[in-house]
Amino acid sequence: MKKIVMKFGGSSVANGEKIRHVANLITDNRTEDCGIVTTVSALEGVTNQLIQIAKEAKNGKRDFISKFTNELLERHLTVAKVAIKNKQTREETEQVLKERIGELEIILKGIGYVNELSPKSMDNVIAYGEKLSAPIISGALNDKGVKSTHLTGGEVGIVTDNNYGEAGLLMQVTKYQVRRRLEPLLKEGHSPVVTGFIAATQNGETTTLGRGGSDYTATILGASLEADEVWIWTDVDGLMTADPKIVSSAKTITEMSFQEATELTIFGAKAMHPRALEPARKEGIPVRIRSVFNPDNQGTLITKEKKVRHEDGVKAVTLVKNVAVITVSGAGMVGAPGTAAKVFEVLGKENINILMISQSVSESNISLVIQRNLLERAVNTLEIALLGRDFIREVVSEDDVCVVAVLGAGMKGMPGVASRIFSAVAKESINVRMIAQGSSELNVSFVVKEKNGANTVRAIHKEFKLNEK
């Protein structure tokens, strides 16, 4: 039996009509020989509301809680009314929604009375986003005559450590449990709906998966079931050769490797968090990213194989905005081991993530790219910690810059790619401020002035004829 795991995000299940559309997409692809497991996010906006109300409850504002839960119930009942036509099915779903919102109200009031919001309590609260959406999608499937049950991440067997808020997965235990839970359901012709984003510890306490969220749940389920494919339904046609807002002729990339996809998602394509790709990559389960608005398009298929064709050298070009460059320089840095370590250590302690690094062999300066909103803090920290010592003369920053990243596994071992990239940029009279290429040769990143960012992307897109692929 073929098995496909599908994931629908919050915007795909924002209202009743959209949920009916989702139910159609599931039933259209479901056959006797193809079982489908679905995982869903909370209705659009609900998770943020839950975080907000939990924080308010902690500050002792208990009066709002009942009002909030009433509104939350109203919204879900309205959605269910549109999504589920059959009266009996709808009433069953409504019953579940009422019970769960009742629980949520008690938890929120508890937080309000003790004025305490531990990461564990927070996970308990935000889990309700998915615990309320999953029954509605499951109900919509039942409404269409497809047998469906809804399960929480814990019920389906996803087990994590107790690092609440960003729990670490126990993949082998999860795999054992998920198979035993879901395979019999699929054999009986069920189409289960699993809450995305949430899991449980070995003792059954609710946790959340943090970064990667429901996408992560989808690949965990896919890897556990050794599914044929995992489909991430989103609002774009897949991963693109460039941001279509910058390059109007940008194309969907039909196929790419996990390695390339990881590079691409790190560099701004917001389709999927790299962490969410891990379970699928390890088990070699193909992941397809496709659009709910355009189900005829097959989207982007991410697979294990690196099908490198040389003319494919470059696959995509992306622009990372809102960054800044810091350059630390001083003759004392030359031949002084440990200088770079001191710079990184100081920034690391301040929780400042470094996106890109370059140092010339002369060692007299190091340039770093960081997020722009952290620039002042970074400069201050570096100056306080390092200026006035022998090896550093000055710390200079630029905040009107952006990073352009050129990606593709085919670039590896292919001479002339860098030359073509920089010639294309030079033809536009654009100055390159800083360059980095890892020895993986999967990507070349460089910094240009922000006002030149879009032109740079267009020039490279054109040079490598990405619109023709």
Closest by alpha carbon to 192, among 182, 184, 200?
A: 182
Phi-psi category of residue 189: left, alpha or beta, with phi > 0 → left and psi -120 to 50 → alpha: left
- 437 close to 352: Cβ distance less than 8 angstroms: no
**Which phi and psi (to 5°) does residue 403 adopt?**
-105, 135
Asked if residue 176 binds another protein (CB under 8 A), the reply is yes
The one among 28, 87, 188, 203 contacting another protein by CB under 8 A: 203
How many Cα atoms are found within 13 Å in the side-chain-facing hemisphere of 323? 27
Closest by alpha carbon to 37, among 169, 211, 226?
A: 226
CB closer to another protein out of 203 and 353: 203
| Whole-angstrom distance, CA of residue 440 vs CA of residue 142 | 49
- 220 close to 167: Cβ distance less than 8 angstroms: no
Question: Minimum distance from CB of 159 to another protein (Å)?
Answer: 8
CB closer to another protein out of 281 and 290: 281
Question: Minimum distance from CB of 228 to another protein (Å)?
Answer: 17
Determine how β-strand 198-200 pairs with β-strand 206-208: antiparallel
Burial class, 373, CB count within 10 angstroms (exposed 0-12 / middle 13-18 / buried 19+): exposed
The one among 171, 200, 316, 368 contacting another protein by CB under 8 A: 171
Closest by alpha carbon to 434, among 277, 320, 336, 337?
A: 320
CA 192, chain centre distance (Å):
23
CB closer to another protein out of 38 and 177: 177
Question: Minimum distance from CB of 179 to another protein (Å)?
Answer: 9
- Contact region for another protein (CB under 8 A) — 13-21, 93-101, 169-177, 237-245? 169-177
CB closer to another protein out of 86 and 162: 162
The one among 76, 90, 131, 175 contacting another protein by CB under 8 A: 175
Closest by alpha carbon to 273, among 335, 334, 209?
A: 209
Question: Minimum distance from CB of 201 to another protein (Å)?
Answer: 10
The one among 107, 170, 354, 355 contacting another protein by CB under 8 A: 170
Binders of another protein among residues 346 to 365 (CB under 8 A) are none
CB closer to another protein out of 175 and 342: 175
Asked if residue 340 binds another protein (CB under 8 A), the reply is no
Question: Minimum distance from CB of 170 to another protein (Å)?
Answer: 5
Question: Minimum distance from CB of 202 to another protein (Å)?
Answer: 6
CB closer to another protein out of 178 and 409: 178
Task: At 459, list the tokens.
Answer: 């020039």
CB closer to another protein out of 168 and 338: 168
Asked if residue 202 binds another protein (CB under 8 A), the reply is yes
Question: Minimum distance from CB of 158 to another protein (Å)?
Answer: 13
- Contact region for another protein (CB under 8 A) — 6-14, 165-173, 378-386, 425-433? 165-173
Asked if residue 186 binds another protein (CB under 8 A), the reply is no
- Contact region for another protein (CB under 8 A) — 14-22, 44-52, 140-148, 167-175? 167-175
CB closer to another protein out of 29 and 202: 202
- Contact region for another protein (CB under 8 A) — 119-127, 170-178, 247-255, 461-469? 170-178
CB atoms within 10 A of CB 79: 23
Question: Minimum distance from CB of 307 to another protein (Å)?
Answer: 23
Question: Minimum distance from CB of 160 to another protein (Å)?
Answer: 10
Binders of another protein among residues 138 to 157 (CB under 8 A) are none
- Contact region for another protein (CB under 8 A) — 168-176, 292-300, 436-444, 447-455? 168-176
Task: At 452, list the tokens.
Answer: 């030149």
Asked if residue 20 binds another protein (CB under 8 A), the reply is no
CB closer to another protein out of 145 and 204: 204
Residues in contact with another protein, counted by CB under 8 A, come to a total of: 10
- 5 close to 125: Cβ distance less than 8 angstroms: no
Asked if residue 161 binds another protein (CB under 8 A), the reply is yes
Asked if residue 205 binds another protein (CB under 8 A), the reply is no
Contact footprint for another protein (CB under 8 A): 161, 170-173, 175-177, 202-203
